[in-house]
Amino acid sequence: MGLLLIAAYASLAAWLWLTLAQGMFWRTDVRLPPRTAPARWPSVAIVVPARDEAEVLPRSLPSLLAQDYPGAAEVVLVDDGSTDDTAALARKLAAEHPGLPLTVVSPGEPAPGWTGKLWALRHGIDHARTCRAAEPEYLLLTDADIAHAPDSLRELVCAATSARLDLVSQMARLRVASGWERLVVPAFVYFFAQLYPFRRINRPGGRTAAAAGGCVLLRTEVAVRAGVPDSIRQAVIDDVSLARAVRASGGRIWLGLAERAESVRPYPALGDLWRMVSRSAYAQLRHRPLLLAGTVAGLVLVYLVPPIAFVAGLAGGRSAVAWAGGLAWLLMAGTYLPMLRHYGQPAVLAPSLPFTALLYLLMTVDSAVQHHRGRGAAWKGRTYARPGDA
């Protein structure tokens, strides 16, 4: 039996397992759970870390100020050392769009051992908890590039109180406008769901834990109990670390796709998307070369072998190779179709997933190379060491 035939059969087996046994990761119907309005609306502080966000803030901050929420709520924007007048623009927008009260705080540069975003979240949460007569019962942690529908906060709170959830997170709909965004963005969410199947995360008592950092509603009492953000202060992939800390403390978590939150940050060129992925890809692998090697081998086997086997089998008259590769490729494309529909993209893009996976493989390798050159996890002028080196 030839090596390519063995690889094709192995890839087909992998796709059968992924399709049938990986928590139905490919489905896109995981939305906010059934919910009703609470008898009493809890107080909420919306904490927004922002570093050099003047470009996107006019499209995101007004949506937070305009939240139609029946209870007490406020917005705390944390200016994380911006150089583009983010703080001044936030105050200007609040004056032009009256709604929820806005406070802007500036904590200064992160202390050693802290990532910038978590340092900003720490100060925003501390301000929300200590600068009012009573601390908020919930915290909405949302990125500065996320725009929310007017009922977003209300529906998040309804879901949390109805299902007795301590953390409710939604994967905001990312922008898909340029050609590269169409090719890369739906696959980004698809790969994330494959790695962290939403149904497994949402299963009470489950072991899988993850969140989407752009939109996280967190019960304050549980945040204190889990010691966040202090307990995860070095995390580059802070949303997954946050969910793990909450689950480890006994909290109930939920993650799904958003219907009322979307990112307004553009990634028009491949380089923009490359930096978004590569800045944290090697951190996801815990900076371990063996995990990197295994990931590269896995991506080749699962995503690249099927089209290679299909084409080579047809060209060489090896029907078994072509059938195995073709069936694996068909399963791959079929499981990708729901995500393409979710993003309003044509089904013709489904067979291109191997090419997109190759791009992600190269981004992951580049992430490791940049890390070993001392430029790993770089974002907006900051570079973070791995936790053991911090």
Predicted pLDDT of residue 134: 86
Predicted pLDDT of residue 384: 56
Q: Which two tokens stand for residue 146?
A: 């996320």
Q: Which two tokens stand for residue 164?
A: 């007795």
Classify residue 373 by burial, with Cβ atoms within 10 Å: 0-12, 13-18, 19+.
exposed
Residue type, 170: Q
344-352 long-range contacts, CB within 8 A, separation 24+? 344/176, 345/176, 345/182, 345/186, 349/182, 349/183, 349/186, 351/307, 352/183
Q: What are the φ and ψ backbone dihedral angles of 218, each rounded to 5 degrees?
A: -130, 130
What lies within 8 Å, CB to CB, of 89 at 6+ separation is 54, 57, 58
In what helix (H) or strand (E) does residue 125 lie, and over which residues does it extend? helix 116-130
Predicted pLDDT of residue 380: 63
Predicted pLDDT of residue 58: 97
Predicted pLDDT of residue 390: 37
Predicted pLDDT of residue 107: 94
8 A C-beta contact, residue 186 and residue 350: no
Q: What is the pLDDT along the chain (390 residues), one digit of tens a residue?
A: 699 999 999 999 999 999 999 999 999 999 999 999 999 999 999 999 999 999 999 999 999 999 999 999 999 999 999 999 999 999 999 999 999 999 999 999 999 999 999 999 999 999 999 988 789 999 999 999 999 999 999 999 999 999 999 999 999 999 999 999 999 999 999 999 999 999 999 999 889 999 999 999 999 999 999 999 999 999 989 999 999 999 999 999 999 999 999 999 999 999 999 999 998 899 889 889 999 999 999 999 999 999 999 999 999 999 999 999 999 999 999 999 999 999 999 999 999 999 999 999 999 999 999 988 877 666 566 565 555 443
Q: Which two tokens stand for residue 376?
A: 């790993």
What lies within 8 Å, CB to CB, of 336 at 6+ separation is 26, 186, 187, 190, 350, 353
Predicted pLDDT of residue 376: 63
Predicted pLDDT of residue 388: 45
Distance CA 3, CA 25 (A): 30
Please tell me the pTM assigned to this model. Answer: 0.94
